[in-house]
Each structure stands twice: as structure tokens, then as C-alpha cells.
Amino acid sequence: MAGDQVTLLDFWASPFGMRVRIALAEKGVKYEYSEQDLRNKSALLLQMNPVHKKIPVLVHNGKPVCESLIIVQYIDEVWKDKAPLLPSDPYQRAQSRFWADFVDKKIYDLSRKIWTTKGEDLEAAKKDFIDCLKLLEGELGDKPYFGGETIGYVDIAFVPFYVWFHAYETVGNFKVEAECPKLIAYCKRCLQKESVSKSLQDPQKVYDFVVMLRKNFGIE
């Protein structure tokens, strides 16, 4: 849309920010990327997201939209003429929302436990994490993407976490591919899409970031 001013307040390693980047790329939306310092939050970020003070925030013609999945739905509704991210059937839409919500409720918290705990807590977190990935694998089935023939809402919700797997696997001493080969094949398939590969970060950089975070948090 001509004359649109779109800015994304983001943090390079955030899987939530990556979701928004993929959605904007799928829709071919031009935007300004604004890297935020999360240890020293800018006046702009605090003004645009006073309630949660978090990234990502999409600022569209001066008006902020917060919470990554809400932003993705907003993008889908505003730039509706290209690459629909949600199905048109209400039941299928509900199913997509359910699985994206599952990723939000389970994947992030469990994966965080993997790089912030040790010993028994770590082992329990790993098991729960793999159980959740297996549920996702089951839901994917034989489809190329969760969205069917093209990537959609659930793919966008989930695939950014893939670039954090290398970090989880290294600190947790396990391999997702050994447990969920289909899911890894799916992630690699997603990376072949330009909208995904250009939006996701290098797993090695993410790993280095996690190492630094663990040092700061005092985790061995």
C-alpha cells in the first residue's frame, strides 16, 4: 500500500521478532527494522509498548501493534491480497490458532528451562520438550507445511525456534533430529523459502548469545 510507514521494533535473536519478519516478507511489505537494546530500553519502545515493554512491536503509520501472534494476524488482515496466512474456513482457523497457541504455551517455556537449568530439572525439561515436538510432528503429518501446501500461521509461529535448537542441543546434550527427524526435515524445507531464510538468524550466533546469557545468569 503506497504511503504506508511500517517500522518493526525488534531484537535480532528473538524468535518472536522473527515471526513478524517472516510474515512481512511473505506479504512483500517494505519496512524499517529497528534493533532494540533490551538492557537499556528506548523511549520509543516504552512509549509503543507501555504495558509489556517488550519486542516485537509493529508500528504502522504511527500506531503500535504488540504481541507477535497478534501482529501476524494484523499483517494477514491488512495485507490481505497476497499470501493468506490463516485458512478461510472458521474451523481450520481455530485449529491453526490452537497449534500456534500450543507453540507459545509450551515450546518457549520448556526450551527456556533447557538452557537455564541443570541436572534433574534439565532432564525433565528435555523430555517435556521432545514430547511437545512429537505432538507437533504428529499434527504436521505428511503435509509439507502446517499450513498445507504453503506456509501459514502455525509455521510462522514455530519455525523461528529452529534456529535456537543448536543452542538447546549443545547445552542440553541431545539431538532433536534423533527424536523428531520429520520435524527437522520440515524445518529445513521451510528454510528453503526466502521469506524464512532471510528472517531467521544463524544458529551459531544464537548459540554464542545463549552462552553469554548463561554466563550472565551464572549457569554453568
Partner 1 sequence: MAKEDLLLLDFWASPFCMRVKVALAEKGVDYESKQEENLLGGKSELLLKSNPIYQKVPVLLDNGKPLSESTIIVSYIDEKWPSPPLLPACAYGRSQARFWADYIDKKLFDATCSIWRSTGAAVEASKKEFIEVLKVLEEALGEKDFFGGETFGFADIMAIPITSWFYASEKFGNFTVEAECPKLSAWIKRSMQRESVAKVLPDPEKVYEFVVMFRKMLGIE
Residues engaged in binding partner 1 (CB under 8 A): 51, 60, 63, 65-67, 70-71, 73-74, 77-78, 90-91, 93-94, 97-98, 101-102, 135
Nearer to partner 1, 98 or 204 (CB): 98
Residue 170 Cβ vs partner 1, minimum distance, rounded to whole Å:
29
Q: For the chain, give me the number of helices (H) and strands (E)?
A: 12, 4
Distance of alpha carbon 79 from alpha carbon 61, whole angstroms: 14
Nearer to partner 1, 65 or 210 (CB): 65
Nearer to partner 1, 17 or 172 (CB): 17
Nearer to partner 1, 73 or 195 (CB): 73
Residue 139 Cβ vs partner 1, minimum distance, rounded to whole Å:
10
Residue 69 Cβ vs partner 1, minimum distance, rounded to whole Å:
8
DSSP label of 31: -
Q: Where are the beta strands (DSSP E) in the chain?
A: 6-10, 32-35, 57-60, 63-66
Residue 105 Cβ vs partner 1, minimum distance, rounded to whole Å:
9
Whether 186 contacts 145, CB under 8 Å:
yes
Residue 77 Cβ vs partner 1, minimum distance, rounded to whole Å:
4
Residue 67 Cβ vs partner 1, minimum distance, rounded to whole Å:
6
- Exposure string of 1-24, with b = 16+ CB inside 10 Å and e = fewer, is eeeeebbbbbeebbbbbbbbbbbb
Q: What's the distance, CA 114 to chain centroid?
A: 17
Whether 64 contacts 48, CB under 8 Å:
yes
Q: Which amino acid type is present at position 198?
A: K
Nearer to partner 1, 134 or 166 (CB): 134
- 35 by Cβ neighbours in 10 Å (0-12 / 13-18 / 19+) ranks as exposed
Nearer to partner 1, 90 or 119 (CB): 90
Grid coordinates belonging to 179: 527424536
Grid coordinates belonging to 134: 512429537
Distance of alpha carbon 14 from alpha carbon 55, whole angstroms: 8
